[in-house]
Chain A
Amino acid sequence: MVACAAFVGCNDDFPGKPNPADRPLPQNEITDFATLFAQNCTGCHGADGELGPAPPLNDPLFLALIPDETLHAVIRDGRPGTPMPAFAAERGGTLSTEQVKIIAAGLKSHWPADKTEEVSDAAIVADAPPYLSSATILQLTPGATDQASTLFERACAECHSPNGAGGETGYASGGAINDRAFLALISDQALRRIIITGRHDLGMPNYAAPDGRPEDFKPLTSAEIDELVALLASWRRGDAAAGDAGK
């Protein structure tokens, strides 16, 4: 009798007893970074934030350089004209203001720090050019074009061939970056970011790595990166002079 009463009274701990923690949350109430990241970012940036078609987010150099507000703004507003969409509901996306904040904040703390040593050491982070360019307008004067082409030859041509038409080795063999469709779909800022951080997941060296570059290669400075971006931008516009760059 007593056992029965006890049974009725409290003990309903069977495997089928639902756990409040497993309750399905409405999409707009999800606040867990990992879930939000998996649902919204992995499609392009890869399952673990790398090895996706879009630049890796699981990149200590990138995460160290990008200012918090910029990261937040890019997630909120997207990069118009490129495949980075706006995620904030008020910009036509699906995430609440809160959720955008959670993703932006979570990115910086999500991947454990020991990966930093693996991929790039602290000095590289410390010496890196700023994420945002200080130059307001990137314009190449005719003289500067030659200078930029020389720079391109030293820093990029080993893999992408002197005129950017693609080479045989390294990240994306035949990796043409003078393709106007490609350039049309990537912003100047994204170009700058990739030149600085490289793509460690696909073997592209960062701004300082010596891989495949001349013996006397020195880490690229912010101004040099501006020049390279300006050169690429001129290819995007299809400037006659730039089209023959390096030929």
Chain B
Amino acid sequence: MALDKPYNDIPGTTIFDADQSRLGYHLNQFCMSLMKAENRARFKADERAYLDEWPMTEEQKLAVLARDLNRCIAAGGNIYFLAKIGATDSKSFQQMAGSMTGMTEEEYRDMMIKGGRSIEGNRYLGEDGDAQPHRQPQGKAGQKGGN
């Protein structure tokens, strides 16, 4: 029997369940390795060579090289693991979270200061909130008509 996934109807959200965890095992374990200072240095010196030491998929490696966290999550990454890449790049959780919305750092920070993203329209897929698929990317990137 397949896993029951009642959470698949929430917009803009990936739940890190056993399937995602299996998919992302080596990606996430690569991220864990960055908790050691010497590994961070080796990764920074030659990212591709360091990634090639891990049995990750090509898509996972490209997503890491592009620092595209949405792609990393689709490939099985979990934000607490991916945060180790952000730490290596000296990025905060706010910069990392914001990068997944399409907003600029400033736009995302302003949204948070104004009370954060509203829940209205963002509970179920098919509503019209700003996290819904038809409204991506957000912020100035979205207004340009997407590029």
Chain A bound to chain B: no
